[in-house]
Each structure stands twice: as C-alpha cells, then as structure tokens.
Structure 1
C-alpha cells in the first residue's frame, strides 16, 4: 500500500468520525500540509468517496446494511425518536410513511393511537403493523418488491403516490448533512421524493449516526416544511443550516423544539 493510499484511508476514517472537521485540522492530524489535504480531498471527491464542502468535506455513503441488521442497531435512540414522532403527528389525519428501521418503530408506537387516521405506505411491515388497529385505514402502495427492505418501488408506485395528498410524509434517512436528507437506494429515494412532493410537510426520523453522512440521492433539502426528529443535537454546521433555512428540529437530548 502506497503512502498516499494509507493517508487517504486515514483521512476517510477521520471524516467518518467527524464530518465537520476543517482542512487545517485534517492537515494537523495527518501531519501534512493543507495543500496535500486539498489534493487528497479533490481526488476522493472525483472518485465519489467524499463530497467537498466549503472548508472541508463529508463522507459519502452509497449503501446501508439490510433492514434486518439495522433493526438491531441504535434501538434506544430509535425508540425515543419514534415516540417523539407520534406526538408530533398527533394532529394529522393522513400520512405517507416510508420504510426503514426507525419508521417501523414509529409505526409500532403509532399503532396505539385511538383516532381516525389514513396511512399510505410502500412498506409491507409497516402496513401489517398498522392494519391491526381498526381506527387506522392503511393503503399498501403497489409496485415492484425490494426484498431486503420489504418495500415497493417503480413506476406503479410513483403513479399511485401522485394521486394522493397528505398532511405529512414521514421518512427515514441514510444520511443527513448541511444540504439535506439522502437515501442510499436510488429506487427507494425516488419513492420517498414523490411522497415528499405530495405532502404539506416532511418529517425526517434520523438518529445521530446519520449526521454528516451523504448517500446516493438527496430526497429533500433542508428547508421550510421539513422537520428533523432525532435523539441528540446535530453538529453545529447542521444545526446552523436548519436554522438558516427555516426548518425545524425536535431533539430528545435538548428536550425542546426550535
């Protein structure tokens, strides 16, 4: 392994742990010049391993573990997010709900509701969870099955979504950075983007492990009518972007909303 390869591997490792680190800090940690770091960042950006930002970079993420594996990770954080989300959507009578580990826990918590609610979802597991409650009307969207995620996607799914309008779209995330929310699967990202376009507000459920990550396709920018519900405060760059663009943040560790 060449010296440059070892240096770039170390650089990627540092970015994995601290997405908001600056070029001069990277140079200090790697014991090289800032010019060397910038060259490495440019090369990694060209190969798609990172995405350059002003003064630094974020690590990109092109895949996620399968749903079954994700359901065993960050359980306490995701359950906290799920219960906060149920409270947040309490005044809504219609929801799109995307697939994923955190949204499944949200559906399990939402199942306890005793009010009339209509839910449209591409996720088989979420449809089954909610269908056991007679006060929740569930529509399972049509489409081609993505077996590892237990969701449907494709042209039939997108066409079906276009026929409906809901108050909220509740989705998970593969990554959350200063630009927005991203998803690792291209076809699933298209479904979530369609849901978001056909809802008045987007509610993003993401635990802190997703901060500073950017995946294959952005589903929604950080903007008005977007609310991020998470278990602990994001890094200052993400919090600044939320505030600057008029989005909302609901965070369990802060015990408040901004």
Structure 2
C-alpha cells in the first residue's frame, strides 16, 4: 500500500471511529508499527490529527487562524452564547475568556445588565463597550496573536488578584477521555489560573471541538461545573460525558 493510501485510510478511520490504534492498524495492514507511527507523525505535523499514547485522536479544527474561526460554527456559537449570557446575574463578576464563542457571549449579554466583566481579550472589551451597565476590566500582558489574548507573567499577576463568580472558558478540544485541551502551553496556564480564581467554570464548546484533542491539557473534566454544547450534539458524545459525571447544557 502506498503512503498516500495509508494516510487516507488513517484519516478515514479517525473520521469513522474517532481514534486510530497503531498496533491494530499495523496488524490489519500487515505492516510494522514503526511505519504506522511514521505516518501518524507526518499527519500530526500537518495538523490533521493529534498523536496520543498508542495511536491518534482527531485534531481540533479550532486551531485554525482567527479570521477562519470567526466564520466557523456561527449558529452553534450564537445559540451557546445565548444560554451562557442568561447565566449572568446583576452584581456578578464574570470572566470572559478569549475566542470567538466568548465574543458572542459578550454581545449576547443584556444591555440592562449591571455587572463587572473581566477579560484578557481586547476583542471582548470592545464587544462590551455599548453595554452601559457593565464595568470592563482588561487584564494586561503580552498579546498571543493566534487568539488575541494576553498571556505571560503580567497577565498571571493580574488574574491572581481577581475573584470571579463565573468563568466562561474557551478550549479547542473536549474529549471524554483526554479532557479539556488547547493548542498553546501559555494559554492553557492562563485558563487554569482563571478557573482557580472563579467560583464556577463553564466551558463553551461548539461542535468542531467535541471529540477533538489538542496538545496541552487545561483542566480535568471533574473541575468544570458545566459544558454548553449545541442541542443536536452526537448521542455517543453525550453518553460518554454523562458516564464521566459531566453536566452538559444543551443550547
């Protein structure tokens, strides 16, 4: 079998089964595991899958550039944003993560809401300028351009002195076994810090993130208070998350 054919089969298996086990595939194709692992390495380098121990899982499509993400799953994100916005009450301090779904949450907040919004995303701050009752606290630091959020020591210092009632977290991967992941080590650290400072952590998860995995762990599933997903998310995913005791909120 040619290399291109093997790689196509690997991607087809990922799409249909949600995972590739290197040992099983090598036996099926009567090839060495080293050959399969080499294919997996090359596909991972192209961003087409995420390698894990023993094989591979689907890579998150949420790792594309920001302009592309702004056009992805728009209806999902709008529905998720409405549910998230309804959770915020007057007088609360809410931390809004960076990302396109969080921007949708900011825009969905009622104009009559009186609250404090903390964010490390300039996009979020701008989206809230027309909300007269919302005080905006922008956390400083070095801009990570892929997500247009601040990271680094200055951002961590600012976050450490804030206590939020609720944190709407964005991630690039939500997987029943691998948990919550993202594509940047620094962003993962920032997200963990915000979660520690918040009474509740709610994950915003449009469909392209479900069942996907990225390189860096954020927090474990048992550390979140709920995950907002689109109403028609796959039954297999819902059942798998329920078995982990995770509360899914359908938008």
Question: TM-score scaled to structure 1, two decimals?
Answer: 0.80
Write the deviation string for residues 116-174 of structure 1: whole angstroms up to 9, x where unpaired.
21111010010122132221111000100123432111111011111112121102221
CA distance in 1, matches of 2:226, 2:135: 24
Partner of 1:126: 124
The answer as to whether partners of 1:52 and 1:58 remain within 8 angstroms in 2 is: yes
> Paired residues, what number?
244
> Which deviates the most, 3-12 or 36-45?
36-45
Partner of 1:165: 163
Give matches, 1:187-198, under 5 Å.
187-198=186-197
Is 1:33–2:33 an aligned residue pair?
Answer: no
User: What do you get for the CA RMSD once the two structures are aligned?
Assistant: 3.2
CA distance in 1, matches of 2:205, 2:32: 30
C-alpha spacing 1:237/1:53, structure 2 compared with 1 (3 Å): farther
Write the deviation string for residues 39-67 of structure 1: whole angstroms up to 9, x where unpaired.
7665566675434479x741234972222
The answer as to whether partners of 1:42 and 1:52 remain within 8 angstroms in 2 is: no
Structure 1 residue 90: Cα displacement = 3.8
Is 1:50–2:45 an aligned residue pair?
Answer: no
The answer as to whether partners of 2:97 and 2:168 remain within 8 angstroms in 1 is: yes
C-alpha spacing 1:181/1:72, structure 2 compared with 1 (3 Å): same
Partner of 2:9: 10
In structure 1, runs of 5+ residues without a counterpart are: 253-258
The answer as to whether partners of 1:63 and 1:185 remain within 8 angstroms in 2 is: no
The answer as to whether partners of 2:90 and 2:114 remain within 8 angstroms in 1 is: no
The answer as to whether partners of 2:200 and 2:225 remain within 8 angstroms in 1 is: yes
The answer as to whether partners of 1:176 and 1:212 remain within 8 angstroms in 2 is: yes
Write the deviation string for residues 209-230 of structure 1: whole angstroms up to 9, x where unpaired.
1112111212122115431111
CA distance in 2, matches of 1:159, 1:19: 43
Question: TM-score scaled to structure 2, two decimals?
Answer: 0.82
CA distance in 2, matches of 1:235, 1:51: 23
Partner of 1:82: 81
Partner of 2:144: 146
> Which deviates the most, 114-123 or 178-187?
178-187
Partner of 1:67: 66
3-state secondary structure, aligned to 1:118: strand
C-alpha spacing 1:248/1:38, structure 2 compared with 1 (3 Å): farther
C-alpha spacing 1:209/1:139, structure 2 compared with 1 (3 Å): same
